[in-house]
Amino acid sequence: MAAPTTSKRIGYVRIAQETNALSPILTEHADFEQTHLLDAEALRQATARGGYEVKGFTRHAELTGFCRAVDKFGGGKVEAVPLFSAWAVSGGPLSTACFETFKRRLRASLRDAAPLDGLFFAMHGAMGAEGTNDPESELLRVCRDVLGDAIPIAVTLDLHAQITRDNMALANILCGYRTNPHRDHRKVGKRAGQLLVETVLGETKPTMAWRALPMVTGGGTTVDFLPTMRPVFRLMKTLEKDPAVRYVSLFMCHLWNNHPDLGWAAVVVTNDDPALADRVADELAEAAWGVKDVDPPAFDTVASALEKVRSRRKRLKLGTACMCDASDVVGAGATGENTQLLAQLLTDASDLLSLVPLRDPTFVTDHWDLPEGAPIAASVGGRLQPEYNPALAISGTLLTKRTLDCFGRVIVVDLDHVKLVVTEGPAMTMRPRFYRNVGLKPMKADICVVKSFFPFRLFFLAENRLTLYVKTRGITDMDLVTKLTFNDPVHPKDDVPDWRVIDRRRRGLAPAVIDG
Ligand SMILES: [Zn+2]
């Protein structure tokens, strides 16, 4: 019997990773396998009611949100068709082999799923791959190759995504997270999903407009609930009160993406009203440009951070100080190998108990066969990115050994006032359970070093009594932006009197004619 002709089929897929272009550690297919890689059937189960979408990360993300939108807005006429889902911890660019594998798999799974009436694609937007600076657009081009130009494609992106002329042209609907730290993955998926379902059913005609801002401001100025950005995030909500305005995004770029057009962007989706989309994008861009001169909060040196910890000792009895290793943020693609911070905690903070993560797969292999309690005299670091993280001699005893999801094999070394957690995989330390899982107690420590810029602020809410951002020297330093090469002058590297000139070039428009 033939399938009922009224049924519409929308495919859904994820390929996501955040790349730090300055990391020498290429991201391979095995990194996805270790973090998150689901085939069609596993993805169907993961996004079903009661499912767990990304194990070890979040129960409900964009694709679950999309599936709920199909249930709620599809009126029984739309079927969600799972393709596959791949996500890896932040790191260096995807190797050519890895990226080509995903392109082949995407093409094959789109063909297998045919016929499709729409596609929902969850991406990061600041992914890198060898040989291209816009891999997301390359993936979208594969989709267009198979699906043609008439099938609507909705894309969800991290708000640190890089918006380009190509990804704007290839997608019909483009929606970004609206929170930083990000906590609205599912909601964004549901809203973008609703738009796509309505489009497939012929109820909505999405039209998009955008503005590209030549600014690469980052750090604490991009947190949605802090004073600098709060009014801008509020403005986005106000702009969406117009029922024709269906989605407003502000993308604040990923500083270490190394894209020659790197910068912020405003993107607006309306229902069949291009002029309105254009006006709203312009208004949001102007508001974002208005905060460009607010300096991000200054980061501490290790010495000034330790003084702050000592002066708040009483308060820390009931919790800990979260010390973000701002030069080695694994969440932003750094290697997690920072030995500089460890060296200073060892020599200058013997009065404080510190929990410190460090990635060193060779050290783990070399010491894995030792029993708990064995003495260790060895060196850590100096292997992944020695120009930043010189080898450091340590001596202590082996406290525990564990194998943890995503982190691989883990060895805890007791260095007296420092408990060093050496991991085989990327040490994306942002939750207290990272330490608890190896038998350490964050509440009892004076300092818990974390390797995430923003998410730890949510996860450590119960334990954290003092938030510190500490700079040493590494590939997630804000000032590295001054060393990158851009096509245009960008703020704050250069003096940019008028963003509109550069915006027009980036959007591929002729220079504006100035009256008078
Ligand atoms: Zn982000």
Burial of 409 (0-12, 13-18, 19+ CB in 10 A): middle
pTM of the entire predicted model: 0.92
Domain limits, the chain: 8-289, 302-470
Give the SS3 label for residue 94.
Answer: strand
From its phi and psi, is residue 373 left (phi > 0), alpha (psi between -120 and 50) or beta?
Answer: left
> 161: CA distance to ligand 1 center in Å?
7
Please state, as a whole number, how many other Cβ atoms lie within 10 Å of the Cβ of residue 514. 5
How remote is the CA of residue 192 from the centroid of ligand 1, in Å?
18
Centroid of ligand 1 to alpha carbon of 476 (angstroms):
13
- Residue 333 Cα to ligand 1 midpoint, Å, equals 11
How many whole angstroms from 452 Cα to the centroid of ligand 1?
11
State the Cα–Cα distance between residues 293 and 218, nearest whole angstrom. 11
- What is the CA(158)–ligand 1 centre distance, in A? 5
Residue tagged 């689901």 (tokens)? 38
CA of 114 to the centre of ligand 1 (A): 32
Ligand 1 mean position to 478 CA, how many Å? 15
**What count of other Cβ atoms lies within 10 Å of the Cβ of residue 184?**
18
pLDDT in tens, the chain (516 residues): 454 556 999 999 999 999 999 999 999 999 999 999 999 999 999 999 999 999 878 899 999 999 999 999 999 999 999 999 999 999 999 999 999 999 999 999 999 999 999 999 999 999 999 999 899 999 999 999 999 999 999 999 999 999 999 999 999 999 999 999 899 999 999 999 999 999 999 999 999 999 999 999 876 667 888 888 899 999 999 999 999 999 999 999 998 887 899 999 999 999 999 999 999 999 999 999 999 888 777 899 999 999 999 999 888 888 999 999 999 999 999 999 999 999 999 999 999 999 999 999 999 999 999 999 999 999 999 999 999 999 999 999 999 999 987 788 999 999 999 999 999 998 889 999 999 999 999 999 999 999 999 889 999 999 999 999 999 999 999 888 777 889 999 998 899 999 999 999 999 998 877 654
Ligand 1 centroid vs 159 CA: distance in angstroms? 5
Task: Yes or no: say if 192 and 66 are a contact pair by the CB < 8 Å rule.
Answer: yes
CA of 124 to the centre of ligand 1 (A): 8
Residues with CB under 5 A from ligand 1 (ion): 158, 160
CA of 399 relative to ligand 1 center, distance in Å: 35
The DSSP 8-state label assigned to residue 8 in this structure reads E
Residue 454, number of CB atoms within 10 A of its CB = 21
Beta carbons within 8 Å of 469's beta carbon, 6+ residues apart: 220, 297, 299, 300, 324, 326
Place of tokens 């932006």: 481
Q: Whose CA is closest to 92, among 254, 328, 325, 335? A: 335
Tokens (6 digits) for 394: 């340590």
Q: How far is ligand 1, taken at its centre, from the CA of residue 349, in Å?
A: 32
Q: Do residues 170 and 137 lie in contact, with contact meaning Cβ atoms separated by under 8 Å?
A: yes
End-to-end CA distance of the chain: 70
Rounded Cα distance, 406 and 31, in Å: 9
For ligand 1, the distance from its centroid to the CA atom of residue 291, given in whole angstroms, is 19
Instruction: Phi first, then psi: give them for residue 483, nearest 5 degrees.
Output: -95, -10
> What is the 160 CA–ligand 1 centroid distance (Å)?
5
Distances (CA, A) of 61 to 48, 66, 86, 186: 12, 9, 13, 4
State the Cα–Cα distance between residues 54 and 32, nearest whole angstrom.
Answer: 12
- CA-nearest of 163, 12, 182 to 80 is 12
What pLDDT was estimated at residue 106? 98
User: Can you point out the beta strands (E) in 416-493?
Assistant: 418-423, 447-450, 464-470
CA of 453 to the centre of ligand 1 (A): 9
CA of 183 to the centre of ligand 1 (A): 10
The position carrying tokens 């200054």 is 298
CA distance 323 to 447: 7
Distances from the Cα of 100 to the Cαs of 74, 95, 97, 104, 309, in angstroms?
A: 34, 9, 5, 6, 48
pLDDT number for residue 219: 60
> What is the Rg, in whole angstroms, of the alpha carbon atoms belonging to the chain?
24
Determine the distance separating the centroid of ligand 1 and the alpha carbon of 218, expressed in angstroms.
11
Gap between the Cα atoms of 80 and 64, Å rounded: 11
8-state DSSP, 284: H
